[in-house]
Amino acid sequence: MRFVKGMLYAFTALLIVLAVTVAYVTQVLDPNDLKPTLVKAANNQQISLTIEGPISWTFYPWLGVAAEDVVAESPQGRLQADRLEGSVALLSLLTDTIIIDRLTAIRPQVRLTNQGTQDNQSTATTGIPIHTAFWSFMNSQYPEGTIL
């Protein structure tokens, strides 16, 4: 009986810590403050990132962030999506580094650049496996999108 009572207290304490963490993150931290940090991190990777819409928190199915009207360009191609949703590793919220576990593009349009051409113009490409695209996302999803 004592063991069950101890487990119940531990579970309750864990739920309270989780609720306080979620409340702190969503009420104190404004996800739109991440825009300059995200743009700078993308520039460090030679990717031009533009986030036209707001960034918001998401709660289902995982805690994360969602950005509206996103365009990312690099020498290898271009990604435009109506919405990008990323799930956040919960322990990363307690540090200075935010880790995105999963990134989902809603209505993406991907244009790949053929590196073999002299003028470096984008060419329509078909039949390319998604893992060879210029962004290699773990567990990527591309619902209702196009690859050009």
Task: Give the confidence band of 15 by pLDDT, cuts at 50, 70, 90.
Answer: very high
6 domain-assigned:
no
1 domain-assigned:
no
25 domain-assigned:
no
21 domain-assigned:
no
15 domain-assigned:
no
> What backbone torsions phi and psi does residue 22 show, to the nearest 5 degrees?
-65, -45
Residue 134 has pLDDT above 70, yes or no: no
35 domain-assigned:
yes
127 domain-assigned:
yes
**Number of structural domains the chain divides into:** 1
pLDDT for the residue numbered 123: 37
Query: 23, exposed or middle or buried, with CB in 10 Å at 0-12, 13-18, 19+?
Result: exposed
Task: Give the confidence band of 102 by pLDDT, cuts at 50, 70, 90.
Answer: confident
> Are the C-beta atoms of residues 93 and 25 closer than 8 Å to each other?
yes
pLDDT 10s digits, 39-93: 888 888 889 999 999 999 887 777 788 999 999 998 888 989 999 888 877 777 7
9 domain-assigned:
no
Range of the domain at 57: 31-147
Portion of the chain with pLDDT greater than 90, in percent: 22
**Is 119 strand, coil or helix?**
coil
Within 10 Å of residue 126's Cβ, how many Cβ atoms?
A: 6
pLDDT for the residue numbered 115: 60
Give the H or E element holding residue 9. Answer: helix 2-28
